[in-house]
Amino acid sequence: MDKKSYVVAGVVFINVLAFFLSAPSVDAAPQNIEATGAYLIGDGPDENINTAKERARTEAMRAAAEKAGVYVESYSKTKGQALTADDIRVVSAQVLSIQKEGFLAKITSDQKHIIWICTIKATVDPDNINLV
């Protein structure tokens, strides 16, 4: 190699090094998410206000997790027309932090049922994602 090639290689190396050293570090900022879930109280023997609120909250959590881009897996099993098992798995626990939660009861238009609506405000911090 001649002297000119060494100079060109040195200039390229210094420019590449300067580029990587001057690049800002990128951290994902926490994201605020608002999500809503609803549950219609049925006529089953296990239907009550607390169950309805919990199921509405579960739907709101699922919606928030989906907005955050977190993997959600749900399994529901019914026997006849009754729900016998409802399993929800959210991969990457401790990513979603609930900041505020509220419940609202509404009567359906036919005035025969009550719908519980849960609204949550959550913060998602991508730096806390556990990749297990």
Is the confidence at residue 64, as pLDDT, over 70? yes
Is the confidence at residue 113, as pLDDT, over 80? yes
pLDDT for the residue 89: 64
Based on its alpha-carbon atoms, the radius of gyration of the chain, rounded to whole angstroms, reads 26
The label of the residue with tokens 């509404």 reads 106
The label of the residue with tokens 């609202």 reads 104
Task: Quote the pTM value.
Answer: 0.58
**Six-digit token pair at 110?**
């036919």
Q: Are 72 and 64 in contact (CB under 8 A)?
A: no
Q: How far apart are CA 48 and CA 53, in angstroms?
A: 9
